[in-house]
A = this chain, B = another copy of it.
Amino acid sequence: MSVALVGAGPGDPELITVRGLARLRACEVLVYDRLVADELVDEAPPGALRIPRDDFQQEDVNKLLVMHGRQGRRVVRLKGGDPFVFGRGAEEALALAMAGIAFEVVPGVSSAIAAPELAGIPVTHRGSASGFLVLSGHATDAFENGLKAVQPNAVTLVVLMGLGSRHELAEKLIARGWNGATPAAIVCGASTPDEWVWTGTIAELGANEPPAGIAGVVVIGDVVRVRERLVAAEEQKVMYGRNR
């Protein structure tokens, strides 16, 4: 394969897949997202060309991948989480396919599932949630359409890129009929040393101050209570989560 679209996982460099790391260590060109851990960028060979994605528009990223791929270079496009979850990875795949460039997709651990999980919150849990809906809070229209799609309090709701709009998120959920007392959580910097977790209710979602500059996930639903039970046990001298 010439180009590999690789998911870096939720943050901790050890949460990349074995195949993803192998592709990274063998690459000649690395195009990487800002959110990807420095340790992973350092895994590319010393001589590899390193291109931070932030310097380019999406269309130009596609062109870069096609250009280097066409020259037969081993290209890795390293993306936070999973390449096909709000990552525009499918657009890159289509651009490569249309240009006739051989490529592969190496899935990654998505923050949509892993960020809550690393905070002790399962997106599904027997008796609490039999399904989960993942939305992006980034674009207001898409978010509102997504919210209209689901009945209040029926499944776990996970919102990626919704930290900045958590006040509006709470207002919109309550306006749509969600119970303001529904458990809610915010998980920032999951699996990194900067991990920050808040739990409360939908009504309290705006009344907290997550750390600036790191990605966060909002989780809504009874599953948040699993964390509270785990934390209660932890306070009785049980460790939970990352190595520490």
Chain B interface: which of A9-17, A179-187, A196-204, A207-215?
A9-17
Interface of A is mostly: mixed
**Are A136 and B117 closer than 8 Å at their CB atoms?**
no
Binary flags per residue of A139-156, CB closer than 8 Å to B gives 1, else 0: 100110110111100110
**Are A90 and B125 closer than 8 Å at their CB atoms?**
yes
Chain B interface: which of A26-34, A49-57, A77-85, A163-171?
A77-85
**Are A109 and B230 closer than 8 Å at their CB atoms?**
no
Q: Is A98 an interface residue (CB 8 A)?
A: yes
Which of B112, B131, B237, B239 is close to A136, meaning CB atoms less than 8 Å apart?
B131
Take A139-B130, A149-B150 as given contacts and tell me if A18 and B15 are in contact as well, using a CB distance cutoff of 8 Å: yes
Copies of the protein in its oligomer: 2
Q: How far is the CA of A113 from the CA of B150 in the complex (A)?
A: 20
Q: Is A226 an interface residue (CB 8 A)?
A: yes
* B-contacting residues, A46-80, CB 8 Å: none
**Are B130 and A143 closer than 8 Å at their CB atoms?**
yes
Assuming A97-B234, A107-B114, A150-B155, what are 20 further A-B pairs, CB within 8 angstroms?
A9-B107, A12-B19, A17-B109, A18-B21, A90-B125, A90-B226, A93-B120, A94-B226, A94-B230, A97-B230, A97-B240, A100-B233, A104-B240, A104-B243, A107-B109, A108-B109, A130-B139, A131-B135, A131-B146, A146-B154
